[in-house]
Amino acid sequence: MGTVRTRAKEAATPELYTVLGDDGSVAPDRDPGIPEETLLRIYRGMVTIRKLDERMLLMQRQGRIGFWGPTKGQEAATIASGAAFEERDWIFPALREAGIALDRGLPLEVMLAQIFGNANDRTHGRQMPCHYTFREGNFHAMSSVIGTQVPHAVGAAMAARIKGDDVVVAGYLGDGATSSSDFHVAMNFAQVYRAPCVLVCQNNQWAISVPLSQQTASETIAQKAVAYGMEGVRVDGNDALAVYAATRRAVEKARAGDGPTFLELLTYRVLGHSSSDDPTRYRNEDEVKEWTEKDPIVRLRRHLDGRGLWDDAKEEELDGELQGRIARAIRDAEAGAPVDPETLITDVYAEVPPHLREQLDRTLRDLGA
């Protein structure tokens, strides 16, 4: 019986798909042939969110913003997977996919207005900071409720299939979300109804302070797909080429009507869960150091350098461009007007009921507004 169980376990455990070596090299037989312009787009997107992390965390410590959720260490998993979807496809994010919205055209000024919750914030301050929505880019609103976006994504994909709409839907989640009931519902519906979706788990090893070892007894997260009859793929999440290639294959498979794929992107959350979190209280710094040496930006930079696509001069130019963009966006956000109190009702009613108008006017008079 023990032998049978061992063989079943080995059969269900997917290998880790990787393309890039630590030095940025690619074996010729493993090169997925990603276009140069796509690689450069991915690299710029990764550097952009790294720069944002640095500046926003500094601002939070200065008391200029109240909250920030960093992405450091997960840039390849975020940007390279998002880049594999087409513009017409829909993104249902978890918590660390804001870089995908930026890559899809979300203006930095609008993004930072959401952090400040001012009048330029599309949600008028009624959403947590770092919870963006970008309708023009088919980027659904973020949610902090763990796992809820996964059945939403599957439902949207099922609707697209019924309508004959040729789109693919991405449903992102973290390792912690695989313990939620919503995850199991979504996986089951996705495969039973052959929904054109790709479910992407960013396994960053920690669900706030809960390590992966206490999250599941499975050897990998990808193998959870087996129970639902779904293909599960485990990918080196710090390898931008592997992430893009695996996600692109899953997208093409879904669009062809061949059903969903579950991707586990093995990566690491280098910083805290958020600016409110102190990870030194629950994890070993040796572990952090080990993963920091696997920096996905450094790895991709080495690859680009080796192909003659990037150099120090281009890096310096990009750094200057990003510092300027971020500084301008911060200036605009800090100068933004407060949210108009009238939005309390005008955001809800197209035609405001007289009794609510009277209540609001009375409240504003009492406040001296």
Closest CA to 142 of 133, 154, 151: 133
Find where tokens 């439902």 sit.
Answer: 155
Within a 10 A sphere around the Cβ of 330, how many other Cβ atoms? 20
C-alpha 238/C-alpha 265 separation (Å) is 8
- Residue 117 tokens read as 């919750």
- Residue 301 tokens read as 């930079």
What is the tens place of the pLDDT at every residue in 102-160?
A: 999 999 999 999 999 999 999 999 999 999 999 999 999 988 899 999 999 999 999 99
Mean pLDDT of 300-325: 97
15-338 — its CATH code? 3.40.50.970
Name the 3-class secondary structure at 107.
coil
Q: Which helix (H) or strand (E) holds 287?
A: helix 285-292
C-alpha 338/C-alpha 116 separation (Å) is 9
Mean pLDDT of 167-195: 97
- Is residue 92 within 8 A of residue 157, CB to CB? The reply is no
How is residue 13 annotated by DSSP?
Answer: S
Question: In this structure, are strands 206-207 and 16-17 parallel, antiparallel, or unpaired?
Answer: unpaired
Q: Structural domain boundaries of the chain?
A: 15-338, 342-369
- Is residue 253 within 8 A of residue 275, CB to CB? The reply is no
Name the 3-class secondary structure at 234.
strand
Q: Which residue has the higher pLDDT, 4 or 356?
A: 356
C-alpha 53/C-alpha 43 separation (Å) is 16
What is the tens place of the pLDDT at every residue in 254-282?
A: 999 999 999 999 999 999 999 999 999 99
E strand map for the chain: 16-17, 90-92, 169-174, 197-203, 206-207, 210-211, 231-236, 261-266
Min mean pLDDT across 2-11, 17-26, 239-248 is at 2-11
C-alpha 212/C-alpha 204 separation (Å) is 9
What is the tens place of the pLDDT at every residue in 49-68?
A: 999 999 999 999 999 999 99
Residue-level pLDDT at 368: 78
- Residue 315 tokens read as 């890096």
pLDDT category at 366 given cuts 50, 70, 90 is confident
Chain-wide mean pLDDT for the chain?
Answer: 94
Residue 92 bridge partners (DSSP): 171
φ/ψ of 206, rounded to 5, equals -140, 130
Residue-level pLDDT at 269: 97
φ/ψ of 341, rounded to 5, equals -55, -25
- Residue 61 tokens read as 């410590």
Catalytic residue numbers?
A: 269, 273, 282
Question: How much is the pTM?
Answer: 0.94
C-alpha 190/C-alpha 348 separation (Å) is 33
